Amino acid sequence: MFQDSGGFSSAYDAGLRMGGAFELKQVTWALRHALHSPEAAADPVLSEALLRVDVTGWFGAMPWRPGCTPLRHLPAYENYLLEQWRQDAFSDYYRTPAIYGRGFYHRFPDAPSLHLGSWYDPYVRSTIENFTALADLKQAPSYLVMGPWTHGRRCETHAGDVDFGPRSSLDGNLAPSYLDFRRRWFDRALGREAGPGDDLPAVQYFLMGGGDGRRNSAGRMRHGGTWRADRHWPPTTTAPVALYLIPDGGLSTAAPTTPAASVTYDFDPRHPVPTMGGQVTSGEPVMSGGAYDQNAPDARVHGARDPYLPLDSRPDVISLTTPPLERDVVLAGPVSARLHISTSAPDTDFTIKLIDVHPPNPDYPHGFAMNLTDGIVRCRFHRDAEHPELLTPGEVYEIEVTAPDTANLFAAGHRIRLDISSSNFPRFDVNSNTGEPEATARRTATAANTVHMDARHPSHLRVWLEGGLSALR
């Protein structure tokens, strides 16, 4: 089995939803396919109506209702979309084999499998889970290949506004071409004679980073990177490390000792934090996948407003960083944050974003804050994805916010940064803070959201570092 850029392990956890929040790429994906539908092909008036849809305008007019969506002229597609959106809890809807490999691994044949993905693809989690599960359950070998691309762009060297260098594409590096790469793998899998150099490591991944951070001729930041091989994921050279959140904006390897410390912000669903890149596909014209400078939103960013200040300047973003690193630090593996939170609302969201902060240079005098991966949790699902449970305002809860895995070299002088907030729109739908389902809620409320960071509530970022804790000492 050769699985490229997809293969749901659980669409509820990655692909349709993440942490209970709905991935709005489903809207733009459905619109794109509606334009090529048999109905549109047979009806030039319908085709023209779909071409004239003001997608950006509709994304500013949520929530939608039947007959009041950008797919209003094609009811079958509109019903398809709204049904997905309403299915907010994990249920039999998500347990079908096509989108829930996790429940059917035992039925997969015991045959070699290769799982090809990319760090800026919505299916990072699925790709790695499928590889790991089949490697554990089957006798036949399982292989993982992860590049620095967006969805399916394995032959390009850039993702968004960042370039990873000529070594980053699959073509010319892992094989002369993508088709040759597939052929050679199937030759091995089917028992044909393998030629010299055809031995394939269990894991090949592109470690982003190591470039000079300057702007190239195409206007992209040179982040660089290199291919690595291992027999396991996370890599055998890495170990988990906790970086504790400090109220003054720091990340520390030392657990907090203060008896009380926290940061509170107001989350207004009418003014969500805009999406700037990330693991997005099929999102145009309202969002694009890849790596972008979080210091420099502009008119291309849906929801960004003049004077286009850095995202961490917003009062509803908690930004925490390490001091400048004294030496190179390699991060490769899962990313999550264990947060102790409270809120004034019966339900709300918490988001995380991991960022590589480049120091200033002549091309980027304000530095370059490069997004690596991000995640979200809808708090009514904090105990159980199948049975939502509203929060008691003011009570402290412990939640886990998981982001897709990544691999990056934070060069000496760079900083590791974690941004925490409560929205990432339009990548995810926005919580109304009322406790009502997002697909039907018409009202919103501003929530006072608190992240606790004290001895009793040691909120922390968890990452896998080469050399473990010693990498930061």
SS3 per-residue string spanning the chain: CEEECCCCCCCCCCCCEECCEEECHHHHHHHHHHHCCHHHHHCHHHHHHHHCCCHHHHHCCCCCECCECCCCCCHHHHHHHHHHHHCCCCCHHHCCHHHCHHHCHHHCCCCCEEEEEEEECCCHHHHHHHHHHHHHHCCCCEEEEEEEEECCCCCCCEEECEECCCCCCCECCCECCHHHHHHHHHHHHCCCCCCCCCCCCCEEEEEECCCCCCECCCCCEECCEEEEEECCCCCCCEEEEEEEEECCCEEECCCCCCCCCEEEEEECCCCCCECCCECCCCCCCCCCCEECECCCCCCCCCCCCCCCCCHHHCCCCEEEECCCCCCCEEEEEEEEEEEEEEECCCCCEEEEEEEEEECCCCCCCCCEEEEEEEEEEEHHHCCCCCCCCCCCCCCCEEEEEEEEEEEEEECCCCEEEEEEECCCECCECCCCCCCCCCCCCCCCCCEEEEEEECCCCECEEEEEEECHHHHHC
| The predicted structure's pLDDT at residue 200 | 85
Of 32, 12, 15, nearest to 89 by C-alpha is 12
Amino acid symbol at 237: T
Q: How many CB atoms lie within 10 A of CB 256?
A: 20
State the pairing for strand pair 221-222/17-18.
unpaired
| The predicted structure's pLDDT at residue 225 | 98
Q: Is the CB of residue 242 less than 8 Å from the CB of residue 438?
A: no
Gyration radius of the chain over CA positions = 22
Residue 86's contacts (CB-CB under 8 Å, 6 or more residues apart) are: 437, 439, 440
Q: Is the CB of residue 251 less than 8 Å from the CB of residue 321?
A: yes
| The predicted structure's pLDDT at residue 451 | 98
Amino acid symbol at 327: R
The pair of structure tokens assigned to 12 is 């509820």
| The predicted structure's pLDDT at residue 385 | 97
Alpha-carbon distance values, 70 to 66, 73, 301, 428 (Å)? 10, 8, 20, 17
How far apart are alpha carbons 357 and 359 in whole angstroms? Answer: 6
The pair of structure tokens assigned to 309 is 């200040």
Answer whether CATH 2.60.120.260 is correct for domain 239-472. Answer: yes
Residues 440, 445, 446, 452, CA torsion sign: negative
The pair of structure tokens assigned to 91 is 């249920």
Q: Is the CB of residue 119 less than 8 Å from the CB of residue 208?
A: yes
Q: How many CB atoms lie within 10 A of CB 42?
A: 9
| The predicted structure's pLDDT at residue 194 | 63
- Whether the full predicted model's pTM is greater than 0.95, yes or no, is yes
Q: How many residues does the chain have?
A: 473
- Looking up tokens 């997809």 gives 6
Q: String of b and e for 377-390 (b: at least 16 CB within 10 Å)?
A: bbbbbbeebeebee
Q: Is the CB of residue 166 less than 8 Å from the CB of residue 157?
A: yes
Reading the chain (473 residues) residue by residue, the pLDDT tens digits are 999 998 999 999 999 999 999 999 999 999 999 999 999 999 999 999 999 999 999 999 998 999 999 999 999 999 999 999 999 999 999 999 999 999 999 999 999 999 999 999 999 999 999 999 999 999 999 999 999 999 999 999 999 999 999 999 999 999 999 999 999 999 988 888 665 445 789 999 999 999 999 999 999 999 999 999 999 999 999 999 999 999 999 999 999 999 999 999 999 999 999 999 999 999 999 999 999 999 999 999 999 999 999 999 999 999 999 999 999 999 999 999 999 999 999 999 999 999 999 999 999 999 999 999 999 999 999 999 999 999 999 999 999 999 999 999 999 999 999 999 999 999 999 999 999 999 999 999 999 999 999 999 999 999 999 999 999 98
The pair of structure tokens assigned to 338 is 């264990």
Amino acid symbol at 423: S
How far apart are alpha carbons 203 and 141 in whole angstroms? Answer: 11
Q: Is the CB of residue 240 less than 8 Å from the CB of residue 208?
A: no
